[in-house]
Amino acid sequence: MPNEEPELAREGVDRLDRRLRTFCRCSDMLFQVESELEALRSICAMLVEGDEFRLAWIGYCEDDANRTIRPVAKAGIALHFLEYVENSWGNRKTGQGPPGIAVRTGKPCWINDISTDPSVSGWAAVAADAGCNSCIALPLIARDRQGRLIHLRGTLNLYSRERGYFDGNTIDHYAGLASCLTHAVAALRGHLAEDLTSGMKSLRSGELRKRAEEALQKAQAELANASRLTMMARIAASIAHEIKQPLGAMVADGSAALRWLAQRPPDLDEVQASLNRVVMEGHRAGQVIESIRAIFKQAPQDKRRLDANELIREVLALTLPEIQRHGVAVQTELIENLPSLLADRIQLQQVMRNLIMNALEAMDAVSGRARVLTIKSTTHESQGVLITVEDSGTGIEPTDMQRIFDSFFTTKPYGMGMGLAICQSIIESHGGNLSALRGYPHGTVFRVILPTGVD
């Protein structure tokens, strides 16, 4: 799919951002918590917020005959999973799951597809019923400033609905969190200092904070890198989206020129007219690319005085072949003598062209009633212009209305989800506002509000 990689990049940034915020909250909590049980329960509760994990639980090793790993804190919407699954840290059958292996080896143990992993026996069906498709067990192990091993004989256990969830960065991230938790619990128990009070104070203000800061810096670096990748994907998707129309027009006009040349005798006047349109669209494609680059570089805009109605008529002329191809009638209600706008003509043309093309595509599925595109202009309050683009299409679902301006969100099978995001960026960079609402009785109305600005 054309928008698969940008969508994945955006999801990656969102995920890193959630992890970073969760880590910060967990770290702050560990600096302030006063009891071990409170720390364990709070960590589990924070990790399942936001639906990233179906289940989080912490287990401690018992010295009973079965060498049980007993849950001491848990949170999530798949808690019933723990009622049917027994974990131990011995070599018996119940000790072959990730918690038992993590305790014995002192290393994280994870399964990225519970349904197919050959090591899973007896509880794969229960995990599936709980919506858990991948999991990890992280040993509660750390080292103090003298390099001595701190071992709480327990595990932090996380279960995700997503298969393949635990990659290298994810494992390192949550292993760091498990280490911070280990330090905090050890401090609360007074295991890391000769004097209980001074030991807790030293660790919680020093070692624990140092560990948290190191993990936080790593998470921030990952987030910054993912953000750069997403910005690159966004720029690429924006350029691809915006030059698709002029390139399509160039192909159509070039094909028309060939047909006129193939006639006997060739109609050279039509050939020249077609080639002139090719050149015009070629220049427009270059202008669009430069305009998008300016948006993302936050370069100064080429703002000049322009007439909103003239701009609307220009874009309608440019999109006339598409309007005819979609079988749409156009109605305009343009109030004359509008105050002039101080704006970048190319960028506003992009906005109007996008809104018009979206309206045309929204009416493709309409049958049994007229397909009408209505464009209006009027004054807005005392110092602005309001332009509305209305279609008689099927409308936008209420659940999608709040997301239509998000980058990479699209309801089209082959859409990139960049058009409206770019439009909103352009209008906001002009000090204006772009919004959408349901039309009556059908369709969608997009409202563009632009200030007139000053010379």
Task: Answer for the pair 411, 359: CB distance below 8 angstroms, yes or no.
Answer: no
Q: For 150-180, b where at least 16 C-beta lie within 10 A, e where not — what string?
A: bebebbbbbbbbeeebbeeebbebbbbbbbb
Question: Residue 111 carries which DSSP code?
Answer: E
Report the pLDDT averaged over residues 65-87.
90
Residue 191 has pLDDT above 50, yes or no: no
Sign of the Cα pseudo-torsion (153, 154, 155, 156, in order): negative
In terms of DSSP H, where are the helices of 190-267? 196-202, 208-262
Q: Report the alpha-carbon distance of residue 347 to residue 291 in Å, rounded.
A: 7
Alpha carbon distances (Å) from 340 to 185, 352, 433? 67, 17, 17
Q: Please tell me which residue, 290 or 269, carries the higher pLDDT value.
A: 269
CATH code for the domain in which residue 131 is found? 3.30.450.40
pLDDT in the model for residue 374: 95
Rounded to the nearest 10 degrees, the angle between the axes of helix 36-48 and helix 168-189 is: 160
pLDDT category at 420 given cuts 50, 70, 90 is confident
Q: What pLDDT does residue 192 have?
A: 40
Which H or E run includes 15?
Answer: helix 4-32
**The pLDDT of residue 331:** 94
Does one domain contain both 56 and 162?
Answer: yes
Domain count, the chain: 3
- The reply to whether 162 and 241 lie within a common domain is no
241 and 366 fall within a common domain:
no
Q: Does a structural domain hold residue 226?
A: no
Range of the domain at 269: 234-297
The domain boundary residue, chosen from 245, 269, 297: 297
Which residues fall within 8 angstroms of residue 282, CB to CB, at 6 or more apart? 246, 250
Considering the domain architecture, whether residues 309 and 268 belong to the same structural domain is answered as: no
**Axis crossing angle, helix 345-362 with helix 419-429, rounded to the nearest 10:** 140
Q: Are residues 44 and 185 in the same domain?
A: yes
How far is 262 from 270, CA to CA, in rounded Å? Answer: 12
Q: What is the mean pLDDT of the chain?
A: 79
Shared domain for 172 and 41, answered yes or no, is: yes
Give the CATH number, domain containing residue 360.
Answer: 3.30.565.10
Instruction: Tell whether 285 and 311 lie within a shared domain.
Output: no
Please provide the DSSP assignment of 346-391 as one string. Answer: HHHHHHHHHHHHHHHHHTTT--SS--EEEEEEEE-SSSEEEEEEEE
The residue out of 253, 280, 297 marking a domain boundary is 297
pLDDT band at 71 (very low <50, low <70, confident <90, very high): very high
- Higher-confidence residue of 5 and 243: namely 243
Residue 290's pLDDT is what? Answer: 67
